[in-house]
């Protein structure tokens, strides 16, 4: 079976077709895949919050990210193992009003 494996390098995201089989899979109580392992040794694990938002990801290559969400499900913060982060603010209607990232970019949205 050919499986698409996505890996994220310094220059972007690359798709690799390789011959592997899923040998282990675990789910949480909501049916979300929280762990998957392939016959070639590649694995990933995920964590979700009580609203079903993906809040943590880690894989066998050492890549990871974590995210935070506000009470309305808006993503307010994300950082990863490449030391890249961003944060966002939203108004009471869920419109993004501010964005800032680790490279110094700031955006103030006019609604």
What are the distances in angstroms from CA 104 to CA 29, 44, 84? 39, 30, 11
Q: What is the pLDDT of residues 22-65, one digit of tens each?
A: 899 999 999 999 999 999 999 999 999 999 999 999 999 999 99
DSSP type of residue 92:
T
DSSP string for residues in 44-81: EEEEE-TTS-EEEEEETTS-EEEEEE-TTS-EEEEEET
Q: What is the pLDDT of residues 91-111, one digit of tens each?
A: 999 999 999 999 999 999 998
Domain assignments of the chain as residue spans, ordered by start:
2-108
- Helix, strand, coil percentages, rounded to 5, for the chain: 0, 60, 40
What's the whole-model pTM score? 0.78
């Amino acid at each position: 079976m050919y499986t698409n494996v996505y890996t994220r390098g310094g220059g972007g995201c690359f798709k690799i077709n390789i011959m592997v089989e899923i040998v282990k899979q675990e789910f949480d109580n909501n049916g979300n895949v929280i762990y998957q392992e392939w016959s070639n040794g590649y694995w990933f694990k995920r964590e979700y919050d009580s609203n079903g938002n993906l809040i943590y990801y880690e894989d066998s290559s050492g890549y990871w990210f974590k995210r935070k969400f506000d009470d309305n499900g808006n993503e307010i913060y994300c950082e990863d193992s490449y030391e890249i982060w961003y944060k966002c603010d939203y108004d009471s209607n869920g419109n993004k009003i501010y964005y800032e990232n680790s490279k110094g970019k700031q955006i103030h949205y006019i609604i």
